[in-house]
Amino acid sequence: MERRNLESAAANYSYLRGLHSIPVGVLFVLSALGNLEWGPLGRVWVFPAGVALAATAYLGISRFYRQNYGRVSPSARAQVRAGVAGAAVGVIVVGAVLLDWNLDLPVSLTAIAFALVLLAHYAVGMGLRPHHKVVCAALGVAGALPFWGDADHRINLGLLLAGVAIAVSGIFDHAALRREFGPAGGLDRG
């Protein structure tokens, strides 16, 4: 493998560890359903228990990746870029939620903002892949459909769909990792 290809593959590796996205997506879904007081998820203890389970799953997934694919750290420049993007994400999403809460619109600004933020995250990080475009477009279109109802539903259903989009993108990212680096455990440990 040429040096440039190897550097590119190493840079993408940290972004392609998509199984990490599943517990993150589950937290969004739990948060939304808890806020909507859906079934037993409206109980006070459910979300903290979900956070503990998601953190445990995240650590287990990290261990899986370390053991089966090794570890590569992004460059300092990539880490700074990710930090700036993370701050921008926070501002955009909080702004969208506040607008969703205060404006009586038939669309979900929360879902639309998450679609744009996810799209930007992937574009800045590893570059857009076809599945990112499809998942983000689906989330954005769903947010733009005029059926969302009151602010609680617009915000929480937007969070729920964002959680599903994050998890689905992560599954496809992991599949891309497998295509680029081979199946888990396929590394020469010699």
pLDDT in tens, 27-84: 989 888 887 777 666 667 778 888 999 999 999 999 998 888 877 777 777 778 778 8
Q: Let me know if 176 is exposed, middle or buried by CB neighbors in 10 A (0-12, 13-18, 19+).
A: middle
* pLDDT computed for residue 189 by the predictor: 45
pLDDT-derived band at 4 (thresholds 50, 70, 90) equals low
* pLDDT computed for residue 11 by the predictor: 61
**How much is the mean pLDDT over the chain?**
83
User: How far apart (Å, rounded) are the C-alpha atoms in residues 9 and 180?
Assistant: 8
At residue 37, what are phi and psi to the nearest 5 degrees?
A: 55, 45
* pLDDT computed for residue 16 by the predictor: 79
Read off the pLDDT of residues 15-29 as tens digits, 9 standing for 90 and up.
Answer: 778 899 999 999 989
User: How far apart (Å, rounded) are the C-alpha atoms in residues 23 and 167?
Assistant: 8
* pLDDT computed for residue 188 by the predictor: 47
User: How far apart (Å, rounded) are the C-alpha atoms in residues 142 and 128?
Assistant: 20
pLDDT-derived band at 7 (thresholds 50, 70, 90) equals low
Read off the pLDDT of residues 76-104 as tens digits, 9 standing for 90 and up.
Answer: 777 787 788 778 878 888 888 888 888 88
The verdict on pTM exceeding 0.95 is no
* pLDDT computed for residue 85 by the predictor: 76
The label of the residue with tokens 């370390």 reads: 66
What CA–CA distances, in Å, run from 68 to 76, 82, 186? 24, 25, 8
The number of residues making up the chain comes to 190
* pLDDT computed for residue 178 by the predictor: 85
What is the pLDDT averaged over residues 156-174? 93
